[in-house]
Chains A and B, each alone.
Chain A
Amino acid sequence: MKHARVLYRQQVFDATERDGQLQLANGERVGFDAVQWLPPLAPTPRPRTVLALGLNYADHAKELAFKPPSEPLAFIKGEASFIGHQQRTVRPHGVGFMHYECELAVVIGRPARRVRRDDAYDFVRGYCVANDYAIRDYLENWYRPNLRVKNRDTCTPIGPWLVDAADVHAQYGSPEALDLQTTVNGRVTQRGNTRDMIFDVPTLIEYFSSFMTLNPGDVILTGTPDGVVDCQPGDEVITTIEGIGELVNHIVAAAPSDDDTR
């Protein structure tokens, strides 16, 4: 099943996809265009841990002139950077290189502590598409990638769906051979396949849970393949993962008061 969270008539609803429409938890059925899409993640009692991977596809590592890491290159994001499907992401004034990153998001389903690779899928609730934007102008070599690059308001669209892990596993065997694609204004700019991850989903769960407990609702953003290009205000960026969804995002210019170029 595909799950969403939406704002409809000023109320937040859990919803599921049904025959090309949204079945709201109150029984109403509405069109995709009738709602504002929220991140498809239920609230958590404590702040959600959002782990993200850098350089987790060999081709992207090469693209950025890095040799592939021998251990996952992980960073952490605050969940406040998440926005939903069909929302707007702000490009600051005066920057030269802001790029999308189409990523498979793994949502944890039960507490995971010292999980073995072979058992890892038992701890997955489901999968989403995420777009982990980066603004490379702000990269600094201190705790890199630093939060000014990776933890900006509006810069992590996720959704539209949380797809049950069982469905993905039943249809595809695992999430390890799914096509990824990004288009900018309809033109394909990024293509890849999750089989090219350097550290696959079970390996990442084993790695993180070896030193930190992952809790239900925590998210792992698993990195992006080759093919990132600069995006400008007005661009429509669609990140797609086979069997998971098509996440639409619109780039807008920062309001003058949001200037961040000092």
Chain B
Amino acid sequence: MNASPLPIHGTVYGVLLNSAAEWQATEPLMHEPPYKAPPQAPVLYIKTANTWSANDTAIALPRGVGEVEVGATLAAVMGTQGHVRGFVLLNDWSLPHSVDAQGFYRPPVKSKCIDGFLGVGANLWPAADLPEPNAHTLTVRINGALSQTVDLAQMRRPWPALLAAVSEFMTLQAGDVLMLGLDVLREGPRAGRRPLARAGDVVEVSCPGVPGLGVLRHTLVQEAA
């Protein structure tokens, strides 16, 4: 879809409910149907290759979709033999889906695997230069205004505990990508949920502590009728 080369090549895995704040917001419903119990293993999903959008491109909202969730995160890019090559900024766009509407019960294929719905940062930052990826925060700006601060320090499974938990049941291949986790807003009417953006918005994700990761920027457009 995009001509510019991307710094990722393998299967991209995301993880739901790694953020402590999201867990807290979800907890009251964890014992209710259809969930019935809190998750034990990491709750993973896959962002298929048709979703990949290079930096500084436009992402089309499908017809009839007014708003999408912004999913800023940092992700590890695997090297060979379980080593990590580096980290990259991702924006895991999603159609809004929530725990209370039973949106976390079935795999989020229809909300997360839409063409263009994964923004991929331009720069792979070497793992050797980022020994503590969870020590950082990310900022999300919508049309220049600060919308969210993602605190990677409050992930329930920080790196590399997350990798260890995932590796218990599947092997990440060289080139595969594992997100460190998405966060939710802390206050306001959408507290406990992710920020929303709509057509016309310019959304930027950056990591102030690691400027070398670059700024991941996308413009949302409405798909032509």
Residues of A near any B CB (own CB < 8 A): 46-49, 51, 73-81, 113, 138, 140-148, 151-153, 211-215, 260, 262
Contacts and interface: CB of A to CB of B under 8 A. Distances in A.
Contacts of B173: 78, 80
12 contacts: A46-B52, A47-B48, A77-B46, A78-B173, A80-B176, A113-B115, A144-B105, A144-B106, A151-B169, A211-B62, A211-B113, A212-B113
A78 B170 contact: yes
B169 A152 contact: yes
B73 to A, nearest CB: 17
Contacts of A152: 169-170
B189 to A, nearest CB: 25
B170 A140 contact: no
A211 B110 contact: yes
Contacts of A144: 105-107
B180 interface: no
A143 B16 contact: yes
B50 A213 contact: yes
A51 B109 contact: yes
Given A74-B109, A142-B104, A147 B52 contact: no
Interface in B44-73: 44-46, 48-52, 62
Interface in B62-99: 62
B40 A140 contact: yes
A79 B176 CA distance: 11
Contacts of B143: none
DSSP majority for the B interface?
loop
Nearest to A77: B46
A153 B49 contact: no
B43 A76 contact: no
A260 B105 contact: no
Give the residue among B9, B35, B104, B169 with the most A Cβ atoms within 10 A: B169
Give the interface centre of A48, A81, A143, A146 by most chain B CB atoms within 10 Å: A143
Contacts of A75: 106-107, 109
B171 interface: yes
A214 B114 CA distance: 11
A141 B107 contact: no
Given A75-B107, A212-B50, A141 B35 contact: yes
A140 B114 contact: no
B84 to A, nearest CB: 17
A165 B29 CA distance: 46
Contacts of B176: 78, 80
Nearest to A213: B50
A142 B35 contact: yes
Given A47-B10, A152-B169, A213-B115, A138 B41 contact: yes
Given A76-B48, A80-B173, A260-B168, A140 B41 contact: yes
A151 B170 contact: yes
B188 interface: no
A142 B46 contact: no
Contacts of B115: 113, 211-213
Contact of A143 (B36, B50, B108, B113): B108
B169 A143 contact: no
A152 to B, nearest CB: 6
Contact of B49 (A46, A81, A138): A46
Contacts of B44: 143, 146-148, 151
Nearest to B114: A211
